[in-house]
Amino acid sequence: MSRIVTVQDISCVGQCSITVALPIVSAFGVETSILPSAVLSTHTGGFKGFTFRDLTEDMPGIYRHWHAEKIDFDAIYTGYLGNARQVDYILEMASMVLKKNGLLIVDPAMADYGKLYTGFDDAFVAEMARLCSHADYVLPNISEAAFILKEKYVGEGYDRAYVENLCKKLHALGAKNVILTGVGFSADQLGVAVYDGKTVEYYFNKREERNSHGTGDIFASVFSGALVTGRTAYAAAALAADFTVKAIQATADDPTHTYGVKFEKVIPFITDNL
Ligand code: PXL
């Protein structure tokens, strides 16, 4: 059985980050440990006055303890980080507790629609780019890829050359495999591009009307669970895309539910297909 540790924040309310990763990765039958990067009362998208406790300085003590206890992991899966200094700690942690041939999966959760999330700046982007350069798998959306590479963000109307340039440059940066999310070449299509350094493959669904918060975290969690249980990157990305669409659809009957999506209702889609 695999053991994975996920490094991201605890947004106490908000259906994102650790509150998504724990149930989803666990649904694959994978033991899921956590290293919280920060504790917030809610996520930062659309709430005002949220609390924020930065846990950067707790991190080294936590993974050094694991190392002393000879606890190690098949994968480290990182998401939203509370501070640029956490990148050095994650790399040290990987050198101490990631198994030989273990996977570093990095979701550079920091931007959407061409804008950085509240609280992030260029220095943070530079450190996230450095973390991506060490990753076995990176899972940026187009905004995050553009920030990391200092490329122009194009919201719509881009072509395959634009998408494949982002994939190839992320690979040239050092990321061994690239899963670029939020890709669509027409108004009714949305999906992913998967690049292993040789070929770019696409997987699309019909685009849902609603833009929803936390879907990047849901995608990355399904992808990570599927990958460590033996699926190929393409199959894991396709499953993650399908799950994310179903979670958005499961929320469609409740227009007042705006801060996240009801992924809980879709967990059987994972367990029924194991
Ligand atoms: O869903 C990404 C995410 C995770 N954690 C926090 C966030 C966001 C996006 O805004 O604010 C705290």
Residues whose CB is less than 8 angstroms from the CB of residue 14 and which lie 6 or more positions away in sequence, other chains included: 40, 42, 43, 47, 213, 214, 259, 260
pLDDT given at position 212: 87
Q: Where are the alpha helices (DSSP H) in the chain?
A: 18-27, 59-68, 86-97, 122-133, 142-149, 160-173, 215-228, 233-249, 267-271
Q: Are 207 and 189 contacting, i.e. CB atoms less than 8 angstroms apart? A: yes
Angle at 18 between CA 163 and CA 40, to 5 degrees: 105
Q: Residues with Cβ within 6 A of ligand 1?
A: 9, 11, 16-17, 40, 43-45, 80, 109, 117, 214, 216-217
pLDDT given at position 211: 79
pLDDT given at position 220: 98
Closest ligand 1 atom to 109 CA: 2
Measure the CA–CA gap between 255 and 5, rounded to whole angstroms: 34
pLDDT under 70 in the chain at which residues?
none
Residue 75's Cα: distance from chain center in Å?
Answer: 13
What Rg, from alpha-carbon coordinates, does the chain have? 17
Q: Residue 170, exposed/middle/buried by CB under 10 A (0-12, 13-18, 19+)? A: buried
Per-residue exposure over 200-224, b if at least 16 CB sit within 10 Å of its own CB, e if not: bebbbbebbeeebbbbbbbbbbbbb
Residues whose CB is less than 8 angstroms from the CB of residue 36 and which lie 6 or more positions away in sequence, other chains included: 7, 8, 9, 10, 18, 55
Phi, psi of 42 (to 5 degrees): -145, 175
Measure the CA–CA gap between 274 and 271, rounded to whole angstroms: 5
Q: Are 219 and 20 contacting, i.e. CB atoms less than 8 angstroms apart? A: no
Residues whose CB is less than 8 angstroms from the CB of residue 121 and which lie 6 or more positions away in sequence, other chains included: none
Our mutation pick for probing the ligand 1 site, out of 7, 17, 139, 143, counting the most ligand atoms within 8 A of Cβ, is 17
- Per residue in 236-259, pLDDT tens? 999 999 999 999 999 999 999 999
pLDDT given at position 24: 98
CA dihedral 40, 240, 247, 138 (to 10 degrees): 30
- Per residue in 21-75, pLDDT tens? 999 999 999 999 999 999 999 999 999 999 999 999 999 999 999 999 999 999 9
- Edge-first strand order for the sheet with 189-195 is 52-54, 31-42, 3-13, 73-78, 98-106, 137-138, 177-183, 189-195, 200-206
Name residue, tokens 């920091």: 110
**Tokens standing for 203?**
């997987």
Measure the CA–CA gap between 220 and 218, rounded to whole angstroms: 6
Our mutation pick for probing the ligand 1 site, out of 117, 124, 258, counting the most ligand atoms within 8 A of Cβ, is 117
pLDDT given at position 217: 98
